């Protein structure tokens, strides 16, 4: 365990429900990074909800609001085509494959995908769009990852998301939930978008209250 991480007496698990093409999820990812760096999680579940299916796109007002509340970067090339309908289906398939085959790279890959999408305007709609990541990380995803429909593995992730949504009473995303033993902490990521490091102290207070 890295020296800067906090180990808790009960096993800690982190759940992050997101969509790779969602600006709010992009803004929440630095908050997730702070939690991963600060706590020794026994399990990390990154769950792609595949909201964007090619029928719509993030609203311009949403992008502007995210920009105002956080320090994340939107590239000019992304902003120029932001009204184009988006599909995150192949990323959902890709991330579920990574989760089952090389889970240790999953969060790093999510960060790389978000940077390529929101800064470089990579739509991740064809296999070619994934080539840079595949080559960089020496991956060998199966062809079913790049089909237009959700893979069986991605569908299983959605089933897990539905169970979590029922438990916490919301289907909204992004969602951050930490469990300590059989107790759960709902983390309001929106309070930490401008200063993600603040989430660590807030969660430590929550954990202390559970003890």
Span 5-38, pLDDT tens digits? 555 568 999 999 999 999 999 999 999 999 999 9
Q: How high is the pLDDT of residue 154?
A: 96
**CA distances (Å), origin 93, targets 88, 109, 142, 160:** 9, 13, 10, 15
Q: How high is the pLDDT of residue 169?
A: 87
Q: How high is the pLDDT of residue 23?
A: 97
Mind listing the pLDDT tens digit for each residue in 122-147?
999 999 999 999 999 999 999 999 99
Written as six digits, the tokens of 62 are 């949403």
Cβ atoms of 20 and 114 closer than 8 Å = yes
Q: Which residues of the chain have pLDDT under 70?
A: 1-9
Residue listed under structure tokens 């365990």:
1
């Amino acid at each position: 365990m890295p020296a800067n991480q906090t180990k808790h007496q009960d096993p800690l698990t982190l759940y992050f429900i997101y969509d790779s093409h969602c600006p709010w999820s992009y803004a929440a990812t630095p908050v997730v990074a702070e939690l991963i760096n600060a706590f020794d999680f026994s399990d990390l579940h990154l769950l792609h909800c595949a909201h964007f299916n090619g029928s719509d796109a993030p609203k311009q007002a949403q992008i502007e609001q995210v920009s105002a509340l956080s320090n994340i970067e939107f590239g000019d090339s992304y902003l120029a085509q932001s009204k184009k309908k988006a599909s995150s289906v192949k990323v959902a398939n890709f991330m579920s494959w990574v989760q089952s085959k090389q889970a240790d790279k999953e969060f790093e890959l999510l960060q790389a995908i978000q940077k390529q999408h929101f800064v470089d305007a990579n739509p991740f709609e064809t296999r070619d769009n994934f080539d840079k990541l595949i080559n960089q990380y020496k991956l060998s995803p199966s062809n079913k990852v790049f089909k237009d429909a959700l893979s069986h593995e991605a569908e299983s992730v959605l089933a897990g998301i539905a169970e979590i949504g029922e438990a916490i009473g919301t289907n909204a995303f992004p969602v951050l939930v930490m469990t300590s033993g059989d107790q759960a902490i709902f983390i309001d990521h929106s309070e930490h978008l401008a200063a993600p490091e603040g989430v660590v102290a807030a969660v430590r207070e929550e954990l202390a209250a559970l003890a």
